[in-house]
Amino acid sequence: MATNAADAGEEKKISLVVEFSCVPLSCPSFHNAVLFQKPFLPRERFCLRPCHEDDSDTDLIWNRACMLLSGGLEMLFSDERRHSLSIPAVNKDGKPANIAFLIDYLCENTMKDTRKELFVLDGHLRPGILALINDADWELEGEEAYEVRSGDNILFVSTLHGG
């Protein structure tokens, strides 16, 4: 008899938040963050909380994500600022889902625009798009290797066009 989701053959998933935003290149907070290698926190925040705050077993099965887009990135995702989605907790190789997997998942399952190269370049997040994990620059968290956990807040900030 199956005692948990893995025994029942179900795919494990985790809860997290994914956001998209834009910041002007002239923003002093952004430049200070780059110069002093400190986390950049944009003033306007939207969905910085877990979509599902309960600690139920479903968090072991799905990465539940609320995704908010602005500043131009939303045009790649059906011109919608907010999305709710679920991603597998493990990749095709059975390894824990990481940011690289999340970015690929967003491109393959959420992005409706065919211009994938505006979000990723050579299989990686495009230069000029800042990624924050739980309000910290993703470089402090291991970039694409960071393993996504339930309740994580992920923010993508476009700096490509200067706001």
73 touches 156 (CB < 8 A): yes
Q: Would you state the pLDDT for residue 129?
A: 84
Q: Could you tell me the pTM of the whole model?
A: 0.67
Kind of pairing, strands 152-158 and 14-22? parallel
Query: Domains in the chain and their CATH numbers?
Result: 14-158 (3.10.20.30)
Q: With 0-12 CB in 10 A as exposed, 13-18 as middle and 19+ as buried, what is 126?
A: middle
What is the CB-side half-sphere exposure of residue 144 using CA atoms within 13 A?
Answer: 10
Nearest to 161 by CA among 100, 73, 81: 73
Nearest to 131 by CA among 18, 13, 15: 18
110 touches 116 (CB < 8 A): no
Q: Would you state the pLDDT for residue 122?
A: 93
Q: Would you state the pLDDT for residue 5?
A: 47
Q: Would you state the pLDDT for residue 36?
A: 44
Q: Each residue's pLDDT tens digit in the chain (163 positions)?
A: 445 544 556 677 777 667 666 554 444 444 444 444 444 444 333 333 333 334 333 334 455 655 555 567 778 878 776 666 778 888 889 899 899 998 998 899 888 899 999 899 999 999 888 888 887 899 999 999 999 887 777 878 777 655 4
Rounded distance, CA 70 to CA 52, Å?
Answer: 22
